[in-house]
Amino acid sequence: MLQKLIIITGSPCVGKTTVAEELFESFHNCAHFDGDWVWRVNPFSIQDPRLRNGNKAMSFVLSNYLNSDFDYVFFTSIVVLTDPIRQNILNDITAKNYTTFGFTLKCSEETLTARHKNRGDRTEIMFNWLHTKPHPSDHIIITDNKTPAQIAEEIKKVIL
């Protein structure tokens, strides 16, 4: 079987990590890497040139997982919504013979606000990420009124 790198992206609080954890629990021989922790800096600005080092760290970890023969590698991050950053990360992966699937999770502003509140997040809600145009090759999944298990099932239908 060809290894699969599954990219899950979207706005903060849209459900990326929760859905990836659901997928992680339902597959054997898999890994999950939350790339947002690599870019967790204060103050945050996507234009900060120091974050390019974060891209290298993401590529390194993904390479390690893929070179370790995991069948499925789930990669969650906000920043791979944009093509230049995604391509920068993917281009530096040293592994060969794997296929990539991309998913952008979307929801309404009302749903995002409710999830943000339920999470107890005290940071400002950033609707700009919610309205960022999805990566052109991504499968779009609307998460309103869906459980993480339901969203995971939608992803499984594409990757299996």
pLDDT in tens, 56-98: 999 999 999 999 999 999 999 998 988 889 999 999 999 999 9
pLDDT tens string 12-36 = 889 999 999 999 999 999 999 999 8
In this prediction, residue 45 carries a pLDDT of 77
pLDDT of 156 reads 98
pLDDT in tens, 25-65: 999 999 999 998 887 878 877 788 887 788 999 999 999 99
Confidence check: pLDDT of 125 > 80: yes
Contacts 24+ apart (CB under 8 A), 95-99: 95/3, 95/62, 95/63, 95/66, 95/67, 97/2, 97/3, 98/2, 98/3, 98/4, 98/5, 98/66, 98/73, 99/2, 99/3, 99/4, 99/5
Phi–psi pair at 73, nearest 5 degrees: -120, 115
Residue 54: its pLDDT value, please? 86
Residue 160 exposed, middle or buried by CB count within 10 Å (0-12, 13-18, 19+): exposed
> pLDDT for 97-124, tens place per residue?
999 999 999 999 999 999 988 888 777 7
- Please count the residues of the chain: 160
Model-level pTM? 0.93
Contact 70, 30 (CB under 8 A): yes
Q: Report the C-alpha gap between 103 and 87 in whole angstroms.
A: 15
Looking at per-residue pLDDT, the higher value among 8 and 118 belongs to 8
139 contacts 101 by C-beta, under 8 angstroms: yes
Looking at domain 3-159, its CATH class is alpha beta
What pLDDT is recorded for position 5?
A: 98
Give the pLDDT confidence score for residue 25 in this predicted structure. 97
In the chain, where are the structural domains located? 3-159
